[in-house]
A and B are shown apart, each in its own frame.
Chain A
Amino acid sequence: MAKIDIKIVKNLLIVSVSGELTAEEVIAVVDEYYPKGVVKDVIWDLTNGSLQSISREGFIAIAIAAKRSVEGGFREGGKTAYVGGAEVEYGLLRMYKTIAEMTGVPVKYDVFKTVEEVKNWIE
Chain B
Amino acid sequence: MTNLVVKKSEINQLLLSQPIDMPVFNEVALRLQQMMNENSYRIEEAIKLVNEDTALAAEMLKQANTTYNSGKAPITTIKNAIVRLGSQQVVNLAFTASMANSKSDNPVINTHLKKLWHHCHTVAITSAWLAAQIRYDNEILEIDADEVYLAGLFHDIGKLYLLKSMDGLIKTGLLKIDQSEIDEILEELNIQQGIKVMQHWNIPEIYLNSVGRHNTDNWKCGTNDYLVAAVRLSCKFHNYVGQGIEVTENSEIFELVKDELSLLDLDDAAYVYDFVKAIDE
Contact = CB atoms under 8 A, between A and B. Distances in A.
A binds B: yes
Interface of A: 18-20, 48-50, 52-53, 56, 85-92, 94-95, 98, 113
A52 B268 contact: no
A95 B278 contact: yes
A86 B278 contact: no
Q: 9 closest A-B pairs (Cβ-Cβ)? A: A86-B70, A50-B71, A94-B278, A91-B279, A91-B278, A50-B70, A56-B271, A95-B278, A87-B125
A87 B268 CA distance: 21
Contacts of B136: 53
Contacts of B65: 85-86
B66 A86 contact: yes
Given A87-B66, A87-B125, A87-B279, A98 B71 contact: no
Nearest to B272: A56
B129 A18 contact: no
B274 A85 contact: no
Nearest to B68: A86
B70 A95 contact: no
A85 B69 contact: yes
Interface string B261-281: 000000010010011001101
B141 interface: no
B280 to A, nearest CB: 9
Nearest to B70: A86
A85 B64 CA distance: 11
A90 B70 CA distance: 10
B278 A49 contact: no
Nearest to A57: B268
B72 A48 contact: yes
B67 interface: yes
A50 B133 CA distance: 13
A52 B73 contact: no
Interface string B135-153: 0100000000000000000
Contacts of B132: 52
A86 B129 contact: no
Contacts of B279: 87-88, 90-91
A56 B268 CA distance: 9
